[in-house]
Structure 1
């Protein structure tokens, strides 16, 4: 990747532009993560949270990692396994305390197995545990016999430090292996443990997002935590080009144009396949904020020349393989997708994230979206004919295979508001909940987004949900007041009724300040998105919508929208 820095120097009233160019090498051969494999029905993995150097060509950065590796090892389990994970916290013992819902605990940690249908109580997937520096904790998980085989991942989930640790690099894939009896011969041909050379793991992370003006700049996240792990070095004496007296840290903050997601810890790595052979790509958005809008295109023609079909979303198989709408797939933070890929024409192809303007209404104009190449595919050999063909997929267990006419026990709404609020309040701690349901009850949820210009990803732990459909949004419109600083800026809700003299809703939130009752909606604030009515159409501009009948544990809730799930 070529990038440049321009420094302006004033000499005798003449303006001189000195341009420096450096390269970060791309296109190294794609490396697969190391593996921790199931060796018996009861087994243990040790993960150490520890600082380590992360190198991309000449650039050397200090990051938080698992076992000193980016990516962390892939953990491959079998249905019925009893898995123990010993998490050892070897991160530095820094000053950590802070207020709830504000950045804190940069070096305390815990562990979340993202997407698994497992017990959330100790010693299982309890994300409320805090493991301080110098401490360790032994997690114990029972992988149920009916756990869907598929693509999952693991990462820290301590409230207050998740974004710092995940975007630093603390993430790894977790794969529940397909069993021989429930897997067709066609799927076995591209699936590990049967044919591992065709099963490709792709952990996609925002590890080089430093570009000026980006809200995702990792260095700004570090600033919020007064982070002490900021080491930066270079193996190239000419790069980066520093001004007299300038430090590398200052260069990284003020002059770098780095804005890349990495794939398996590499910058745009390459994979070579033979024309006509089929591969399985397992892709994870292992970042904490930006969405990925994935497509595969020929670098010469720009066309979707390869055939690629979705077979699973968020670890759960579809009924049948299908072409993704508009040949693009949305991965919100934490989302996963599995593709079957076949390219008949030799050439060079890239998988990229491409944010298009016509998709903006379905994701939101202020939503963080990444545009860039993720990895390159070289197709060798002679031209072939044929297609992926029929690939029977495994049957799903009953809890991710029910009909929408099942009797409902209850229903409730989850309203997304400004300033990272749900149901008009911030997170209140581990002993507070709004709704209580019983195991094996069918319930309906409605996700509503009151924010007019920003989509909001939602992830549900332990249980997947079934997408029923999108309803016309008729709720209030949320707006942050231009006062104070995040996360303590005041906000309020407006009625959609334009005939009201005072449109500030009567039902506000518990911290509403009456002094803002005279506020008005900002100019150009949308009141609705007629575009949302196309949610079920295979037409341009619909990447932000999920399809009815899909089972997910992550979903994008578009601005001013309502989604029904069960």
Structure 2
């Protein structure tokens, strides 16, 4: 039961209620959203000296150099708050740990945030400290698409535009227990600044490890202003009058689907069928029976925010623009993000189940959702800011939002309801609470938040954009909040596509999970793309719909046709806003609804080698919904050059 503090009075029974409400409020105060821990990054200058990250970010910009990072992978014992019981569950899960940090992390199942710059060489050493004993390695039936080898791993820098070969972003290697491996990412000087993330990507164990919390933000910070020849980094615009960047909220959404098991190995549940752990039991993730269609809502687990469940975001001020960098690092649930004003004087303590959440949100989260101003998707700055009330995040997505809270008070952070065809689990999604934001007294921005944001960005352009580019930036912002001077990729023209066509159909069929009807075969012939060429892709998916993701090269969305062949990439749909304002934008991950057709274009520049495309419902990937891709050197006659020695 949740009680408004203003309703409490002085009787004995009411004092008991007050005690409970105070305890609930204390729990909220303890679960404060803090940024994920910063990775201890060392950088080498030409002198050979090593400097910490903050010395570089605040000092002279680096043209080139080395960033050195060390991560360990091991089991971690900790606890996760469970609103169903109002208490914490003990858990033992695989996690990333910064090898240089000695103090225990506040939220151990959130990997350190890695900050890098364009032009750097990033050397990341991964140490697999997990035990070699694992009953699932190799797979019990000897098949590659049966989940297996849960203690083997590797690392994928999701969204980075770097080489997929050798010891760069190579997801086709295995780092076994007891092995240290150093990745080397040569980040090009023209790499877009933006919000990316990293996670394990070894076929057969990806979902299990990511669901354990093995995921972290990877932020590329840029300092290049726009010029007449090249786009600039949006970071150079988003600064306050003091010269400080807009306040940032790094937000890592995770879905840690831990379970406790009885003596026979069966998942323990409560009277409602939700996962339950008895006192003294320790939850874990050791089997793929914890994944599958509908398993996330049935589990009763909660989407966490930077490792905290139902937490409070502190420190916002009315009328101050914030940049929310959001990454969906979950495995198989959609998030439909909204912000609403919260009824004064209420707390959200023990919300026992989905219905309790739904009822609490309906009673206490008031009015229309606040406007959100989306400046980037999947780390790539948009051609123009998209104003929306709802941001739909599917697994693998990133969104950068500018948020303005109009007045002091508390605000609900909501995962709103959605129809069955709009979300990963293919069932009607109920409304949930993710947390709250506490907003202090500031400078009221007025009732027209779009006009306020426009005025603030124009003033920022006057302060921060060089004179030669300033008028164009101002004209763009004044024309429907356009950001063409900061968009990193040129539009793809009809003439650029040389007649090549690529098709990717993600579905579950008679042969199991597959792409174009074929389950993943690591030894089979890869899809071959030609370096320097460009293709138009047709993306389709079977029930329940699947998020398509391809490594290395992003794609530009040309059309999204619904089953009636209507393009919904401009206005979206009445019951589902997720495709609105996507025409012409660039992504690396996109949910393909069953029965819909997405037409996208991609160019293949600079990097050759083998990588993958796959469904980002990660247990689908582990069971075969993945395909090898190869970018090869042209032979000068319309084909590709053969390998030679």
Shorter-normalised TM range: 0.7 to 0.9
Residue 44 (structure 1) aligns with = 68
**In 2, Cα distance between equivalents of 1:368 and 1:287:** 19
**In 2, Cα distance between equivalents of 1:447 and 1:260:** 31
Task: Identify which of 534, 556, 561 aligns with 1:466.
Answer: 556
Secondary structure of residue in 2 paired with 1:388: helix
**In 1, Cα distance between equivalents of 2:147 and 2:505:** 23
Moved more, 276-285 or 372-381: 372-381
Q: Deviations over 1:38-83 (max 9, x none)?
A: 6341121001111112323532211111017321111000000000
Distance 1:384 1:430, change over 3 A: farther
Residue 350 (structure 1) aligns with = 412
Residue 309 (structure 2) aligns with = 267
**In 2, Cα distance between equivalents of 1:534 and 1:47:** 43
**In 1, Cα distance between equivalents of 2:66 and 2:283:** 49
Residue 548 (structure 1) aligns with = 583
**In 2, Cα distance between equivalents of 1:430 and 1:372:** 43
Distance 1:132 1:382, change over 3 A: closer
CA RMSD of aligned residues (A): 3.4
Distance 1:277 1:382, change over 3 A: closer
Residue 497 (structure 2) aligns with = 407
Task: Identify which of 450, 453, 466 aligns with 1:388.
Answer: 453
Distance 1:284 1:365, change over 3 A: closer
Residue 97 (structure 1) aligns with = 138
Moved more, 307-316 or 369-378: 369-378
In the alignment, is residue 25 of structure 1 matched against residue 27 of structure 2?
A: yes
Going by fraction, where is helix more abundant, 1 or 2? 2
Q: Which runs of 5+ in 1 are unaligned?
A: 3-20, 210-217, 231-239, 473-528
CA deviation after TM superposition for structure 1 residue 464, in Å: 0.6
Task: Identify which of 201, 219, 241 aligns with 1:157.
Answer: 201
Residue 518 (structure 2) aligns with = 425
CA deviation after TM superposition for structure 1 residue 378, in Å: 1.2
Describe how 1:275-424 pairs up with structure 2 within 5 A.
Answer: 275-300=318-343, 302-304=366-368, 306-324=370-388, 327-357=389-419, 360-363=420-423, 366=426, 371-381=431-441, 384-386=444-446, 387-389=452-454, 391=457, 393=483, 395=485, 399=489, 401-404=491-494, 406-418=496-508, 419-424=512-517
Moved more, 424-433 or 437-446: 424-433
TM-score normalised to the size of structure 1? 0.73
CA deviation after TM superposition for structure 1 residue 439, in Å: 1.7
**In 2, Cα distance between equivalents of 1:377 and 1:410:** 49
Runs of 4+ aligned residues of structure 1 deviating over 6 Å after TM superposition are 21-24, 250-254
Distance 1:47 1:371, change over 3 A: farther
Residue 442 (structure 1) aligns with = 534
Secondary structure of residue in 1 paired with 2:132: coil
Describe how 1:70-149 pairs up with structure 2 within 5 A.
Answer: 70-95=109-134, 96-98=137-139, 99-149=143-193
Q: Which runs of 5+ in 2 are unaligned?
A: 3-20, 45-64, 82-87, 98-104, 226-231, 268-275, 344-364, 447-451, 458-472, 474-482, 602-645
8 A Cα contact 1:110 1:158, kept in partner: yes
**In 2, Cα distance between equivalents of 1:364 and 1:172:** 22
**In 2, Cα distance between equivalents of 1:429 and 1:66:** 27
**In 2, Cα distance between equivalents of 1:179 and 1:394:** 17
CA deviation after TM superposition for structure 1 residue 92, in Å: 1.8
CA deviation after TM superposition for structure 1 residue 200, in Å: 1.3
Distance 1:401 1:268, change over 3 A: farther
Q: Deviations over 1:349-388 (max 9, x none)?
A: 122211223xx34447726968532231111216613421
Secondary structure of residue in 1 paired with 2:28: coil
Q: Deviations over 1:174-203 (max 9, x none)?
A: 0000215335688332799x7367111000
Task: Identify which of 220, 238, 243 aligns with 1:188.
Answer: 238
**In 2, Cα distance between equivalents of 1:457 and 1:191:** 40
Distance 1:184 1:167, change over 3 A: closer
**In 2, Cα distance between equivalents of 1:430 and 1:461:** 19
8 A Cα contact 2:113 2:217, kept in partner: yes
Aligned residues: 457
8 A Cα contact 1:544 1:556, kept in partner: no
Q: Deviations over 1:303-352 (max 9, x none)?
A: 3454420000000001222203xx11121111000000111222211222
8 A Cα contact 1:400 1:551, kept in partner: no
**In 2, Cα distance between equivalents of 1:457 and 1:443:** 20
Secondary structure of residue in 2 paired with 1:563: strand
CA deviation after TM superposition for structure 1 residue 530, in Å: 4.0
Residue 259 (structure 2) aligns with = 219
